[in-house]
Amino acid sequence: MMTPCGGDLLVTGANGFIGHRLWFVLRQQLNCRVWAGLRLLEAGDALGIPAEERRQVVLGDRMAPIDLSGVEVIVHAAAQVHSMSRAAQRVMHQVNTQGTLDLARHAADAGVRRFVFLSSVKVNGESTPPGSVWTEDHQPSPVDAYSLSKWQAEQGLYEMSAQTGMEIIIVRLPLVYGPGVKGNMATLVKWVRRGVPLPLKSVRNQRSLLALDNLVSFISLCVDRKRSAQAAGKVFMLSDGDDVSIGELLHRIAVALGARASLLPFPVRLLRFAATVTGRQALAERLLGSLVVDSTKARRLLGWQPVVSMDQQLRTMLDDASSRQ
């Protein structure tokens, strides 16, 4: 049975890892038209997005026209992601903050009912202290250009909602993994596949992750007119509810590959020292630090439950990667 959602839905960033999966699945689940928002319309050719289902959304360019006729809900997945260059940091503010708010203003003027913004758990900081868990009530503490741009966008969206009445839902994401993933998760897979010895056996951290299919299942609730009334104006944190150490994650990747993770014991304090000396503190924090979130709020208010386990999504992810080779 298809889910009713009223008017049309627009997913921005539909050529990206998260946005494309959202567009692909939601257009099958929802009883409405789901538009693929693309910066370049021709980018949909290689992704199998029908030309008649594309709309151009250029963020950070106030002169670029945005057609939102008939759209009731926007799921905003487009973003400029991490980069250390100064030029890219300026683009982060231009795209992630100003572009988001420009799009939201267009949306409010066009009568869009709801704006779902995919933010980042980095808004809260880089890591949780040992034994602690972040909830939506914890004080944000963005520490880099990316997280700051997301936090500023969140603040602007709430102000706009108060002024216009357009409903805002914010979802702060941890590391999302699934078919087509790149970045840190793809690097971990490459290390395991190649049998690279990794000095991570002694690490006892905990990390919350989110399967792409679990994220899609939550967003489908956010756009359901009947089920999501209590979500309006809220911030949500999501995870699979299966927090793992870096060693456990590498082991699970190895099992899904039919391989064995080569983990070596090494003092964590020396790993951190080496990272500081080589200027790789950010990478070390992602590998050695903990980041745990509590998704109770999403479960309580919307009845959300993960639809796949970590092991299931890892197998799907790796099968997809093999099919692309």
Residues forming the active site = 146
Token duo for residue 303: 């009845």
Half-sphere exposure of 304 (CA within 13 A, CB side): 30
Contact 70, 110 (CB under 8 A): no
Strand-pair category, 235-237 with 167-173:
parallel
- Angstrom distance (rounded) from CA 239 to CA 229: 22
Contact 113, 73 (CB under 8 A): yes
Token duo for residue 150: 């997301």
What kind and span of H or E run contains 236? strand 235-237
* Angle between helix 246-257 and 310-324 (nearest 10): 50
* Angle between helix 17-29 and 212-222 (nearest 10): 50
Rg (CA), the chain: 20
Burial of residue 264 (number of CB atoms within 10 Å: 0-12, 13-18, 19+): exposed
What residue has token string 């988001």? Answer: 100
Nearest to residue 53, comparing CAs of 22, 11, 16? 11
